[in-house]
């Protein structure tokens, strides 16, 4: 086994993409809209707003755009809810559950449309997602999910694959079958972010990196605010909060959001290039893959034939030490899933923060004169892009454009800041998986 120190503790997506320079001049004194956060939500909103003729300034706390959750994920662009459709329908009714499910279909379509319209070179593919059963009893649950989706007319593009069909495209003995979602996709997150930012800039948006917002000052009782940063102030007629679970900038400044989002670490390793033949034999259909478990794995291939393999390796917040420890756990998980890769070198290892909500569904709307969209709960790469576009329409006066409107967003009991309870949550989910 090759030593851990060869792994670069950095995101493959950001490391293998050109960095977006951002706006080099000073902050404007005024703008029609200020967007706090330069991830996919903020960049997508900036593009849509600028296309409508608004003057837009994006204030990103970090040194580069999409360096948090948008650039530190597994590279999946999947449809389907993060929670079981039947469970959601039982709680909110079939009509609303169907609408939310279709919002994810629309979100993948939005990503594909922007890639095409802006000619973004990001290896976008739409080969589907395969949800894999690691135990025989999980197949019954997948079968029930597929039958309910088709019976309700929610998704007729799902299909159950038995163990033989899964083994024909996934070179592993671990899986007993799977549920195929045919509308899902994948892309290179770093190159998509760079292309999205460049497109927003071409439309006139100003994107300022290394500009954390320190304080917001509401001007009157409407939507206008003065935004205070270390580089000066900006007065904006409207403000969109698109910070997610970021630990700097907007997230740390807004206690109301901090009590409603739990930042949970998700960790990823990337192998050395396997070569075209070996990669094709490993995952012949080149889909995105996710296992059925509370502490699950997800994986896919890259255009340069690497395997991206991730999961909730540890219930901890990302840091260099945490990432390295998680890398060893993922190395073991990869070897268990694909024993033939036991001695393959791991070139990258990193962690990212998932902005988890209590109901594991997004939340978007307006509060105290501020618009917001976040809480994507691990399904954000497509929904964040989509919601940037949708919130731009909301801010232009179309309240119905928000698929997550009119939802109560309750605080998480006992959660006031740092997620002290994550180790206990991890033990609980490991026990559920073990007994499952």
E strand or H helix that includes residue 414? none
- pLDDT at 7 (0 to 100): 85
DSSP, collapsed to helix, strand or coil, labels residue 71 as helix
* Residue 71 pLDDT greater than 90, yes or no: yes
Q: Do the domain assignments include residue 435?
A: no
Categorize the per-residue pLDDT at 320 as very low, low, confident or very high, splitting at 50, 70 and 90.
Answer: low
- Looking at residue 354, its pLDDT comes to 82
Over residues 189-208, the mean pLDDT reads 98
Percent residues over pLDDT 90 in the chain = 77
Which pLDDT band holds residue 432 (cuts at 50, 70, 90)?
A: very low
Residue 431 lies in a domain: no
Tokens of 253: 């400044």
> What was the pLDDT predicted at 258?
77
- The domain tally of the chain equals 1
Write out the E strands in 16-92: 30-36, 56-59, 76-77
Confidence (pLDDT) at 410:
86
Mean pLDDT of 80-101: 95
Maximum pairwise Cα distance, the chain: 65
Whether residue 432 lies inside any domain: the answer is: no
Q: Which of 132, 178, 423 is nearest to 296 (CA)?
A: 132
pLDDT given at position 430: 47
Residue 233 or residue 319, greater confidence: 233
**Element housing 27 (H / E):** none
Q: How far apart are CA 150 and CA 132, in angstroms?
A: 19
**Exposed/middle/buried for residue 94 (C-beta within 10 Å: 0-12, 13-18, 19+):** middle
| pLDDT for position 433 | 44
SS3 category, 17:
coil
- Higher pLDDT residue, 214 or 425? 214
pLDDT-above-70 percentage for the chain: 89
Residue 434 located in a structural domain? no
Tell me which residue range forms the domain holding 138.
Answer: 4-426
Query: Binning pLDDT at 50, 70 and 90, where does residue 266 land?
Result: confident
The first and second tokens of residue 364, run together, are: 């978007």
Mean of per-residue pLDDT scores for the chain: 90
Q: What is the CATH number of the domain that holds 398?
A: 3.50.50.60
Structural element, H or E, at residue 397: none
Please check whether residue 362 lies inside any domain of the structure: yes
Strands 288-291 and 297-301: antiparallel
Cα 328 versus chain centre, distance: 23
Q: How far apart are CA 284 and CA 287, in angstroms?
A: 8
Residue of higher predicted confidence among 97 and 264 = 97
pTM: 0.92
Q: DSSP assignment of 74-87, as one string?
A: --EE--S-SS-HHH
pLDDT of residue 34 exceeding 90, the answer is: yes
Cα 358–364–365 angle (5° rounding)? 130
Q: Is residue 436 part of a domain?
A: no
Q: Does residue 136 lie within any of the structural domains?
A: yes
- pLDDT, tens only, 382-415: 999 999 999 999 999 999 999 999 999 988 877 6
Beta bridge pairs of residue 59: 36, 208
Q: Long-range contacts made by residues 227-234, C-beta under 8 angstroms, separation at least 24?
A: 227/34, 227/36, 227/59, 229/27, 229/59, 231/26, 231/27, 232/26, 232/27, 233/27, 233/29, 234/27, 234/28, 234/29, 234/30, 234/31, 234/34, 234/57, 234/59
Note whether residue 238 is domain-resident. yes
Rounded distance between C-alpha atoms, residue 274 and residue 340, angstroms: 11
């Amino acid at each position: 086994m090759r030593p851990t120190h060869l792994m670069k503790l950095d995101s493959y997506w950001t490391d293998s993409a050109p960095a977006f320079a951002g706006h080099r001049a000073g902050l404007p004194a005024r703008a029609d809209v200020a967007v706090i956060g330069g991830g996919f939500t903020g960049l997508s909103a900036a593009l849509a707003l600028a296309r409508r003729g608004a003057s837009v300034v994006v204030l990103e706390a970090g040194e580069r755009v999409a360096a948090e959750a948008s650039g530190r994920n597994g590279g999946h662009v999947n449809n389907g809810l993060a929670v079981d459709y039947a469970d959601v329908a039982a709680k909110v009714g079939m009509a609303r559950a169907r609408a939310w499910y279709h919002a994810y279909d629309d979100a993948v379509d939005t990503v594909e449309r922007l890639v095409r319209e802006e000619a973004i070179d990001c290896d976008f593919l739409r080969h589907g997602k395969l949800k894999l059963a690691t135990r025989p009893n999980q197949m019954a649950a997948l079968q029930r999910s597929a039958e309910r989706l088709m019976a309700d007319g929610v998704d007729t593009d799902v299909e159950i694959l038995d163990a033989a069909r899964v083994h024909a495209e996934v070179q592993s003995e671990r899986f007993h079958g799977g549920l195929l979602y045919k509308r899902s996709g994948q892309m290179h997150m770093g190159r998509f972010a760079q292309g999205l930012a460049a497109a927003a800039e071409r439309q006139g948006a100003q994107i300022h990196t290394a500009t954390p917002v320190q304080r917001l000052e509401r001007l009157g009782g409407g939507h206008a605010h003065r935004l205070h940063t270390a580089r000066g102030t900006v007065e904006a007629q409207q403000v969109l909060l698109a910070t997610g679970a970021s630990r700097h900038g907007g997230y740390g400044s807004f206690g109301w959001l901090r009590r409603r989002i739990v930042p949970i670490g998700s960790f990823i390793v990337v192998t050395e290039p396997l070569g075209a033949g070996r990669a094709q034999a490993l995952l012949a259909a080149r889909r995105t893959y996710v296992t059925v478990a509370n502490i699950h794995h997800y994986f896919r291939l890259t255009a340069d034939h690497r395997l991206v393999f991730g999961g909730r390796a540890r219930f901890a917040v990302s840091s260099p030490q945490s990432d390295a420890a998680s890398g060893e756990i993922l190395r073991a998980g990869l070897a268990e899933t694909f024993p033939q890769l036991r001695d393959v070198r791991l070139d990258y290892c990193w962690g990212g923060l998932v902005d988890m909500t209590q109901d594991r569904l997004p939340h978007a709307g307006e509060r105290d004169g501020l618009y917001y969209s976040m809480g994507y709960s691990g399904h954000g790469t497509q929904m964040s892009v989509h919601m940037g576009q949708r919130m731009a329409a909301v801010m232009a006066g179309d309240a119905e454009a928000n698929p997550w409107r009119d939802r109560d967003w309750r605080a998480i009991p006992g959660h006031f800041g740092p997620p002290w309870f994550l180790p206990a949550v991890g033990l609980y989910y490991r026990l559920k998986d073990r007994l499952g």
